[in-house]
Chains A and B, each alone.
Chain A
Amino acid sequence: MSLILENIDLEVGRETHVEGVDLELAPGSFNVLLGRTLSGKTTLMRLMAGLDVPTRGRILMDGRDVTGVSVRRRNISMVYQQFINYPGLSVYENIASPLRLANVQSHEIDRRVRETAEMLHIEHLLDRYPLELSGGQQQRTAMGRALVKDADVILFDEPLVNLDYKLREEFREELRALFSERHCIAVYATTEPAEALALGGNTAVLHEGRLLQYGRTEDVYHRPRDIRSAEMFSEPPMNVIDGIVSGSEVTFDHHLHFPLDDAFRNLPPGDYRFGVRASHISLTPQAESDIRLEMTVDLAEISGSETFLHAHNDWFEVTVHLAGVHEFSVDEAVSLYFPTHRMYAFDRQGGVVHIPTHLGGV
């Protein structure tokens, strides 16, 4: 079972919601749709489900054109961000409902419902009604209904957003385990890069209705195709510094000159935009080749065991993600070390031209 989207456009009225998306999901793959709100994640899922019909383009399932086929005939299931269950039916009947409609025999229904409920740890709640349950349990019920029917494609539209932090971590782990032994295509939408990394599989980065990049999650993370994809897939966003490479030196923002490092040796002279992840900048030199910049602290956000430091100099601002708690006062001077061997370089159009060599180069 494979799912292929061919050059999909969706326009509603005069607004374009999705534009020119080409995506091929392999059988048995776990796919994450990553993008901010309004990037088209939900729309794309609704198109895959058949709840919306694309304005242009084709959707193929197993080589069969299903573009205009209604949702009832597609054998998919979907879990929403809101906890959607049938309030009038017990948890058992909620989970059983797709099977009942498919005329599965009742002892078979019973076996599969109990099996699914056990997998999701809600076997003791089967006689209760959805509205009597906690949010996490309600979402488990919804997932049970999605998982019980052996769908070809299972869509998760930010299912964990409305749950608390602890539950989300727990769910995420279970979810990966659940899918490792299934052969359906799973699609999971999220706004958080960290969630995509935790889930693994493949990631499609979406931005304003366009597909920026699709590939194995680590590949997309480590080897962004362009500056947008890199920005979308890091939290806090990747720091971008304009720079010029000439024969023997690198100049950041026309003022900060550094001798040309081994890392950038292969870049032809010209204008570039250099990207460095917030977590790669440090307070102490990590390597010989690190560039040291004197900056001024704007703000230090301490969240639990990590610190987000916002600093600037006369030409640009950076965000630094530091492990551990560090106290800074506003306007304090700070020396930051930028590792050149971990920096990315993009051309003026945003296409990637240099990827750190330890990640395989371009």
Chain B
Amino acid sequence: MTDSMPATPEEVRRRAAATDRQRRRQARPVSRQWRRRGLMALYIVFVLLPIYWLLNMSFQSNTEILGGLTLWPENFTVEHYTKIFTEASWYMGYVNSLGYVLMNMLISIVVALPAAYAFSRYQFIGDKHLFFWLLTNLMAPPAVFLLPYFQLYYTVGLFDTHFAVALAHCLFNIPLAVWILEGFMSGVPKEIDETAFIDGYSFPRFFIKIFIPMISSGIGVTLFFLFMFSWVELLLASTLTATEAQPIASVMTQTKGASGIDWGALAAAGVLTILPGIVVVYFVRHHIAKGFALGRT
């Protein structure tokens, strides 16, 4: 760096930034840098350890699992995965879970899109109260609704169907979807809507051709949240089903065979349950923070 006087404001700023960087680097001794990295590594190990253990177990034979401490599978085997993919009682659990989750995502998004549009664009009597009431639906524990749902579905013959679980999950998923989508929709200027109507778009055409593409990332994030909440919900899903629509989590609790608990199969099932979540997160990873802020930036 030269000692001559800086000529332009940019130069001044650039030099200030450079000295600042240098000072900060000097102020932080090497030992402290390593301490920071060490703490970070420790945290990551702590978080990932159970997941690694699950993965580890899923590739071990049951005797090895029960045998003693092994840090990695010594007799690597995929027998548990084969079992899950070949036995109907296992893989139907996934099919059932995916079935009602997808159904629920579809119902929730179709209902929530127009609802969120109304909340973001129109003023009507009690709109704010209604919007808040939607949020309170998320606060009520699903257990509260367990009995009425069970009784109702049993009476009307919906019990033990995918549709029953999908509908029940709408209880918390629709409010959630409305909340997230409303935030994203409010980020689109109202003038776009008006311009479209001036241009001659009918409402449905505008909504599908112009508006939905504009909030597509919001819809992606919403779908992720819908998937997540419906996928992990166990209480309603297992109570409202018996055999026909039994979710995987419920199947997993019933793996006690004659030879005791099938630890390996259970671990493999666990790994397979995590996988869809990872896949979905991958697709919305850039927008997820905005989703957590309910679309508001």
CA distance A49 to B191 in the complex (A): 13
Query: Which residues on B sit within 8 Å (CB–CB) of A87?
Result: 214
Number of A-B residue pairs with CB-CB distance less than 8 Å in the complex they form: 46
Cβ–Cβ contact A51 & B194, under 8 A: yes
Query: Which residues on A sit within 8 Å (CB–CB) of B196?
Result: 86
Interface string of B174-196 (1 = CB under 8 A from A): 00000000000000010110111
Query: Which residues on B sit within 8 Å (CB–CB) of A82?
Result: 189, 191
Query: Which residues on A sit within 8 Å (CB–CB) of B197?
Result: 51, 70-72
Distance in angstroms from B157 CB to nearest chain A CB is 44
Cβ–Cβ contact B194 & A72, under 8 A: no
CA distance A98 to B197 in the complex (A): 10
- Please report the total number of B residues contacting A with Cβ < 8 Å: 15
- Flag the segment in B160-168, B199-207, B233-241, B265-273 that touches A: B199-207
Distance in angstroms from A90 CB to nearest chain B CB is 13
Interface string of B25-52 (1 = CB under 8 A from A): 0000000000000000000000000000
- Please report the total number of A residues contacting B with Cβ < 8 Å: 21
Query: Which residues on B sit within 8 Å (CB–CB) of A86?
Result: 192, 196, 210
Residue from A71, A98, A101, A145 within 8 A of B194 (CB atoms)? A71
- Flag the segment in A73-81, A229-237, A293-301, A347-355 that touches B: A73-81
Cβ–Cβ contact A97 & B199, under 8 A: yes
Using a CB-CB cutoff of 8 Å, which residues 124-141 of chain B contact chain A?
A: none
Given A80-B191, A84-B189, A84-B191, A49 and B210 touching (CB < 8 A)?
Answer: no
A360 CB–B CB distance under 8 Å: no
Query: Which residues on B sit within 8 Å (CB–CB) of A72?
Result: 197-198, 200-202
Q: Which residues of B contact A (CB under 8 A)?
A: 189, 191-192, 194-202, 210, 213-214
Q: Which residues of A contact B (CB under 8 A)?
A: 49, 51, 70-72, 76-78, 80, 82, 84, 86-88, 97-98, 101-102, 142, 145, 149
What are 25 pairs between A and B in contact, CB < 8 Å?
Answer: A71-B197, A71-B198, A72-B197, A72-B198, A72-B200, A72-B202, A76-B198, A77-B198, A78-B195, A78-B198, A80-B191, A82-B191, A84-B189, A84-B191, A84-B192, A86-B196, A86-B210, A87-B214, A97-B199, A98-B199, A98-B200, A101-B200, A102-B200, A145-B195, A149-B199
